[in-house]
Structure formats: C-alpha cells, structure tokens
C-alpha cells in the first residue's frame, strides 16, 4: 500500500552522497559544510549544481571569493559529515571539531580536505536565484582528482566504500554491486 | 596518490540513485527513461531539478505535455533501469522491453510505474536553458507517495534496498547503515 508523502518528499530522492563543500572568505578563514543536493549538470562545459540556502555562511563565502571545492569522503567519515551539517561556520571551527585538515587546492583559493578521497575544484559560474528556499550555485570544474586506488573511469566498487545519506542522520554504504552487461539483456 | 580526472569527473559525484522518469505525448504514447542527475532543490515550494539533454525524447514530451513522474525502483530492478538508459523511446517500447507497467498517476497526465516503490508527480515549472549539453528541467511536486513498508520520514534502511548507480553500467545497493546521534559527538 502506498501512502502520501508531503514535506519529506525530498528524502524520496535519497540516499544521495554525503559531500563536503569547502570555501574561504577574503579574510582567509576557510569553512566546510556538508551537502547532498549536488549533481553534475553538464559534461561540456563541465558544470555542477549545488542547492544552497542563501542564508548559509558557505553561500556568502562563495559569492565573496568566487570559488569552492567539493570533497568526497568515504563511509568512515560519516561522523565528520554529520558534524559539518549540524553547526555553522560563523560560530564554530568545523575543521577542528570534525578532525578534518584543510590543505591548498591546485587551481582555486578555497582549500580541499586532506582526509577526502576525491576533490573537484570549481569556480562560481552563476547563481540562479529561484523564488524558493534554496538557490542554485552553478560551478565550473577547473580541476578534479581522485585517489588512483579507488577511481578509474568510475569508482572501483571493490575498493571504495561511498558515504550515502538517507536523511534524518542515517548514513549507509554499498557492499553489493554488479556490472550489467548488454549481452544479458 | 591522486590522479587527475577529466571527462569522467561526473562519476566522482556518483553513486547516485538510478531513477526512472515517465512522460507522455499528446498522442497518449507513454515513455520511460533512466536518469541519475536529479536532486531536490527546494522544500518550499517543493521543487526538483533534472538535467536532460535537449535532444532526448523525454525532453520533447515534457515540453509537449507539461508534466512528468519520477519513479523510484529498488536494486531488483537494475536490469530494467539499464534497459531504459540504453534505448530511445522514439524507436523502442521500453516498458515492454524492461517488463515495466505504466499505470495512471494521481494528479498528472504522465503515467507512473507499477513496479516502483515510490513516485513523485511533477508539473513542469520551468526549463533553464544553459549554454551546455544538458538543460535543467525544474519540476514542481504535485503529489508524492511511497510504499508504507519502506518509507516513514525517510527510507527505512532495514527494509529498502535502494538502487544506486556508479556509472559505466555498475549498480549497487546499501547493506550497512547507521544513524549518527548527537550524543556520540
């Protein structure tokens, strides 16, 4: 039997990756927040969209400095991702609280996170201000890297335990996987 | 050691849910495609964004009829999702090929899929035509439902085997999960 889902409709689209976004202010103070409403939106040019509430400190810093980084943790970092979703960088040094280390990026001013397994460095392409509680931050990829042990053309599922977020503080990871082959169809 | 990732940067943001999008033409022919570049973008109003190539048949049908549905399969439907990503509805009846059953939706003209465990019915709010290979289809949620056995405020991870897509025809599901508690921090 189906039941109607109202406000929680957003969680029907989860589990989504638990991702860490880093940014930096003109005062050189780095910040980190967790987010899941992120998706690639174009290969050429290489674009990514992030939904952000305009009152978030990260939103302010991205507008100020014009770049940000996407950092991919694995399942072992679920408590760090939880912490980076619960506190505001206006009040708390979340790197310290979550035991994460900001290190210099390759092409942008915002830092990347040492403990993460892949990083995507973006410049701010455009903000789409929707009449909605979140706006769309469109980033253009300037550089991307991954640990060679876990990513070839895509993640190597035998080697990578992705962090996926169900909503409501529940995190999980993938243990069963299969490559579907056209000959089996 | 990190290595640079170029075109495959999109897969750094995976695994993402493998989702089925249904639409219908004015001629009453329903269509289905698989997609992963979908995310909630606002709770109030309830908005969802889908990235679609403008040459896709689904894009044409959504523009024609003004609505579409998002259908959530579980891991058991991975071959159906693979099929719906490999063929075009212009040439193939993908419902038949993938053993999926279109049934009437609650509030929109596009059908929903009987074999799926949750459905989100959307009207087309807006198309954002980016100078890029995909455009953004912004949908407004008109109705959402889920099987009561698998979804309460979010998916019940003990009861639901989500279908997640790594890219390159690799699908997986979650077996390990944990709710993080603020008292543990």
Query: d(Cα A1, Cα A25) in Å, to the nearest integer?
Result: 50
Q: Would you state the structure tokens that stand for residue B21, as one six-digit string?
A: 């999008």
Say whether residue B91 is in contact with chain A using an 8 A CB cutoff: no
Q: Is A4 on the interface with B (CB under 8 A)?
A: yes
CB contact A70 to B (< 8 Å): yes
Per-residue pLDDT tens listing for chain B (185 residues)? 999 999 999 999 999 999 999 999 999 999 999 999 999 999 999 999 999 999 999 999 999 999 999 999 999 999 999 999 999 888 889 999 999 999 999 999 999 999 999 999 999 999 999 999 999 999 999 999 999 999 999 999 999 999 999 999 999 999 999 999 998 88
Copy the structure tokens of residue A174. Answer: 């993938």
The C-alpha atoms of residue B66 and residue B37 are separated, in whole angstroms, by 20
Q: Which pLDDT belongs to residue B93?
A: 93
How far apart, in whole angstroms, are the C-alpha atoms of residue B10 and residue B144? 28
- Which residue, among A76, A172, A80, has the nearest Cα to B164 in the 3D structure? A172
CATH code of the domain occupying A7-184: 2.30.110.10
What pLDDT digit, counting tens, does each position of A36-74 carry? Answer: 999 999 999 999 999 999 999 999 999 999 999 999 999
Residue B29 CA: distances (Å) to CA of A80, A149, B66, B153: 48, 46, 14, 35
Q: Among positive and negative, which fits the CA dihedral A63, A19, B13, A106?
A: positive
* Subunit contact B11:A132, Cβ cutoff 8 A: no
Closest approach of A168 to chain B, Cα-based (Å):
7
pLDDT for res A7: 94
A146 contact residues in B (CB cutoff 8 A)? 2-3, 5, 12
Contact yes or no for A166/B177 (Cβ under 8 A): yes
Quote the CA–CA distance of B58 and B179 in Å, as a whole number: 37
Can you tell me the distance from the alpha carbon of A144 to that of B7, in angstroms, rounded to the nearest whole number? Answer: 10
Q: What CATH number does the domain located at B17-184 have?
A: 2.30.110.10
Question: CB contact, 8 Å: B172 with chain A?
Answer: yes
The partner residue sitting opposite A157, judged by closest CB among B130, B170, B180, is B170
Sort out which chain A residues have CB atoms less than 8 A from B40's CB and list them: 9-10, 13, 37, 51
Confidence check: pLDDT of A185 > 90: no
Domain ranges of chain B: 17-184
- Residues forming a β-bridge with A138: A49, A126
pLDDT at A90: 87
- The β-bridge partners of A32 are A22
Whether pLDDT at A89 is above 90: no
Mean pLDDT of A177-185: 91
Tokens of B149: 């056995």
Q: Which of A34, A42, A72 should we substitute to test contact with B (largest number of B Cβ atoms within 10 Å)? A: A42
């Amino acid at each position: 039997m189906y039941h109607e889902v109202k406000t929680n409709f957003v969680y029907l689209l989860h589990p989504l990756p638990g991702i860490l976004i880093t940014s930096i202010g003109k005062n050189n103070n780095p910040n980190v927040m967790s987010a899941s409403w992120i998706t690639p939106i174009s290969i050429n040019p290489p674009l990514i969209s992030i939904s952000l509430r305009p009152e978030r400190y990260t939103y302010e810093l991205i507008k100020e400095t014009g770049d940000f980084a996407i950092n991919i943790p694995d399942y072992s970092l679920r408590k760090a991702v939880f912490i980076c979703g619960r506190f505001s960088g206006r009040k708390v040094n979340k790197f310290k609280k979550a035991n994460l280390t900001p290190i210099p990026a390759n092409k942008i001013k915002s830092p990347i996170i040492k403990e993460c397994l892949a990083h995507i460095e973006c410049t701010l392409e455009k903000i789409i201000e929707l009449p909605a509680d979140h706006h769309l931050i469109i980033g253009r990829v300037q550089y991307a890297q991954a640990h060679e042990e876990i990513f070839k053309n895509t993640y190597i599922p035998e080697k990578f335990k992705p962090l996926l977020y169900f909503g409501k503080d529940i995190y999980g990871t993938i243990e069963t996987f299969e490559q579907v082959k056209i000959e089996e169809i």
